[in-house]
Each structure stands twice: as structure tokens, then as C-alpha cells.
């Protein structure tokens, strides 16, 4: 498994863990984030969507799908920007920026791994 594949696999597993908590026990995560508990179904629906997305990441990692890896780098960066904007506009709590930071950190890991594999391949 390449370094880039490993970064995508780890991120996919992170998504799946978050998805499981959101779908099965959303108030556990909300409590950890000091957010109000909910009975709304949307957070569980989000959990299912995040889980499917995590499965895509795991599958892409297992097959070393480099075009997917590249697309995730800018996509995960957009998540950080969006969550920061939501917090600034007060449509979401600032604590959610932490998820954006984790997304961006994962994107930087993938970007770095892709760059090092290109450098190794060019040598």
C-alpha cells in the first residue's frame, strides 16, 4: 500500500467511525462537542451519508485510485473553509471547525504523500 493510499484508508476509517456514532448514537457526539441533544433524524441521515463516503475512501485506498486521492485534497480543504465561514456567519457552532481542521490535516497528509510518490517515481 502506498503512503497516499494509507492516508486515504485512515481517513476513510475515521469517517466510518464518525458515521457509526452519528447513525447509532448521535447525542454521544453532540455531548462530546457540548452541543444540544437532538431527536431530529437528519444527524442520523448524515451519519449514513458519511459512512458511505468513508466506504468510498476505503475502496479507493485499496485500489490506489490516485485521481480520487487528488480530488480529496481540494475537497477536504473546502470543508475547512466552509466550516470556518459557517462559524463566522454564526450558522454553525465554532467547535465544528475542529472537524475541518482534521479534514485539512488529512488532505495535507495525502498531498504530501502524493508529492513524495511523484518524486520517487521521477527518480
pLDDT digits (tens, 9 = 90+) for 1-51: 899 999 999 999 999 999 999 999 999 999 999 999 999 999 999 999 999
Note the pLDDT tens digit of each residue in 56-69.
Answer: 999 999 999 999 99
Contacts of 104 (CB under 8 A, 6+ apart): 76, 77, 79, 80
Averaged pLDDT, 83-93? 97
Structural domain count of the chain: 1
Contacts of 92 (CB under 8 A, 6+ apart): 83, 86
Per-residue confidence band for 120, with pLDDT thresholds at 50, 70 and 90? low
Per-residue confidence band for 117, with pLDDT thresholds at 50, 70 and 90? confident
Domain that holds residue 86: 3-122
Element (H, E) at 18: helix 3-24
pTM summary value: 0.89
Averaged pLDDT, 109-113? 97
Averaged pLDDT, 84-111? 96
Whether the per-residue pLDDT at 123 is higher than 70: the answer is no
**What size, in residues, is the chain?**
123
Contact between 87 and 46 under an 8 Å Cβ cutoff? The reply is no
Averaged pLDDT, 100-123? 85
Amino acid at each position: 500500500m502506498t503512503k497516499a493510499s494509507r492516508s486515504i484508508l485512515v481517513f476513510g476509517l475515521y469517517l466510518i467511525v464518525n458515521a457509526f456514532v452519528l447513525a447509532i448514537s448521535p447525542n454521544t457526539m453532540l455531548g462530546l462537542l457540548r452541543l444540544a441533544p437532538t431527536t431530529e433524524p437528519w444527524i442520523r441521515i448524515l451519519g449514513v451519508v458519511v459512512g458511505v463516503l468513508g466506504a468510498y475512501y476505503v475502496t479507493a485506498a485499496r485500489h490506489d485510485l490516485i485521481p480520487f486521492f487528488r480530488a480529496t485534497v481540494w475537497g477536504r480543504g473546502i470543508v475547512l473553509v466552509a466550516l470556518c465561514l459557517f462559524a463566522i456567519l454564526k450558522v454553525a457552532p465554532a467547535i465544528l471547525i475542529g472537524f475541518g481542521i482534521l479534514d485539512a490535516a488529512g488532505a495535507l497528509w495525502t498531498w504530501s504523500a502524493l508529492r513524495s510518490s511523484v518524486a520517487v517515481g521521477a527518480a
